[in-house]
Amino acid sequence: MEANVVDHTSMWSLVANASVVVQLVMLTLVAASVTSWIMIFQRSNMLRAGRRALDAFEERFWSGIDLSKLYRQAGSNPDPDSGVEQVFRAGFKEFSRLRQQPGVDPDAVMEGVGRAMRVAISREEEKLEQGLPFLATVGSTSPYIGLFGTVWGIMNSFRGLASAQQATLATVAPGIAEALIATAIGLFAAIPAVIAYNRFAARSETLIGRYYTFADEFQAILHRKVHTSEE
Asked if 222 and 110 count as a contact pair (C-beta separation under 8 A), the reply is yes
Per-residue model confidence (pLDDT) at position 4: 44
| Beta-carbon contacts of residue 76 (< 8 Å; ≥ 6 apart) | none
- Residues present in the chain in total: 231
Burial code of 5-29, b = ≥16 C-beta within 10 A, e = fewer? eeeeeeeeebbeebbeebbebbebb
The residue that leads in pLDDT, 204 or 15, is 204
Q: What is the pLDDT of residue 17?
A: 64
Buried b (16+ CB within 10 A) or exposed e, 115-124: ebbbebbeeb
Res 231 pLDDT > 60? no
Angle between helices 132-162 and 169-230 (to 10 degrees): 170
Mean confidence (pLDDT) of the chain: 84
What is the value of pTM for the model shown? 0.79
Q: Which residues of 31-53 are buried (b: 16+ CB within 10 A; e: fewer)?
A: ebbebbeebbeebeebbeebbeb
pLDDT in tens, 47-66: 999 999 999 999 999 988 88
Q: Which amino acid is at 84?
A: V
Q: Could you give the CA distance from residue 172 to residue 85 in angstroms, rounded to a whole number?
A: 63
Pair 64, 216: CB distance under 8 Å: no
User: How far apart are alpha carbons 167 and 170 in whole angstroms?
Assistant: 8
Residues 154 and 65 sit within 8 Å (Cβ to Cβ): no
* pLDDT, tens digit (0-9, with 9 covering 90-100), for 13-42: 666 666 777 788 889 999 999 999 999 999
pLDDT band for position 133 (50/70/90)?
very high
The pLDDT, as a whole number, for residue 213 is 94
pLDDT at 188: 92
Q: Return the percent helix, strand and coil in the chain, to nearest 5.
A: 85, 0, 15
Average pLDDT over residues 135-151: 91
For the cut 80, the answer to whether the pLDDT of residue 181 exceeds it is yes
pLDDT for the residue numbered 225: 83
